[in-house]
Amino acid sequence: MKDLITLSEQILLSVKNEQPSDSLTSELEQYLHSQLHIQLKTDGQKKAFWINIYNAYFLILRKYQNVDKPDIYRKKLVTIAGKKWSLDDIEHGILRKGRFKYSFGFFPNPFLSKAIKQLAVKKIDYRIHFALNCGAKSCPPIAFYSADKIDQQLKTATLSFLENETTIDQDNKTISVSRLMLWYLGDFGGKSGIKRILKNKLNLNTRGYKVIFNQYSWEENLDNFI
C-alpha cells in the first residue's frame, strides 16, 4: 500500500484531472485504522493528509454524487480506514482540534468522539482556513500539500489569500478582510490577532484602524486549483 499522504495527493490529482478515483478511494477505505495513527503522527503530516482529503472529497461529493449543502458537510459520506467521516469531522474535529462549528472558534465541541480526539492536531493553525476549499467563489484555491513542505506551503497560501482579500480605506480608517476570519475569529486570536497577522504577513500598520469583514460570495466555483 502507498503511504497515506501520497495516496491523498493521488486522489486529489485524479479529481483535478477528471479521472476515475474509485481504485484509489477503495485503497484508502481498506487501510487499517491503526495506520492513521502510525503514519500521521506530527501536525504537519495530519494537516497535509486531511487538507488534501477534504478538498478531494468535497469535489467528489459535489461533482459526481450531487450532494448539496448542508448535507455535504454534515453527513458521514467519506470512508477512510473502514470508518465513516463527514467533512465537518475533518475540518472542525481533526484540523481545528474539536472546535464547535458555530462558536466563532472560541469553544470546544463537547460531543466530540474519542476517535476524532485521538487523530486531531495538537495545535490549531489558522492557516488551514486559507487551504480548505468549499467550492464557493470566495473560497481559497486548491493546492497539493505534502508533510515535508507543509509549513512553507501554508505560508504561501496565507500570503496569497491575504493579499487578494485585504483592502485598506485610509480615509475611513478601516481594513477589510475575508469573512472567513470572522467565522473563525477565535482561531485567528480575535480582532487583535487579525491585526497582528496583517502586520506580520503584509507589513501593514493597523494601529487606529477598524477591522471589517467582506461579504462572502457563495456562487459555485468548482475546480479552483492553483
Does some domain include residue 112? yes
For the CA atoms of 139, 140, 144, 150, what is the dihedral angle to 10 degrees? -130
Task: Return the number of other C-beta atoms located less than 10 Å from residue 20's C-beta.
Answer: 11
pLDDT confidence of residue 2: 79
Residues 165 and 128 in one domain: no
CA distance 109 to 173: 36
The contacts of residue 57 (CB under 8 Å, 6+ apart) are 77, 78, 87
Whether pTM exceeds 0.75: yes
Indicate if the pLDDT at residue 201 is higher than 80.
Answer: yes
The C-alpha angle with vertex 172 and arms to 168 and 176, in degrees rounded to 5, equals 35
Residues 197 and 174 in one domain: yes
* Eight-class DSSP state of 164: H
Does some domain include residue 15? yes
The arithmetic mean of pLDDT across residues 206-215, rounded, is 96
- Which residue range forms the structural domain that includes residue 21? 4-144
Indicate if the pLDDT at residue 1 is higher than 90.
Answer: no
Indicate if the pLDDT at residue 200 is higher than 90.
Answer: yes
Please report, for residues 125, 130, 177, 198, 224, the alpha-carbon distance to residue 210 in angstroms, rounded to integers and kept in the order given.
24, 22, 11, 12, 31
Does some domain include residue 219? no
Does some domain include residue 218? no
* Of residues 32, 87, 90, 92, the one with CA closest to residue 65: 87
- Number of domains the chain is built from: 2
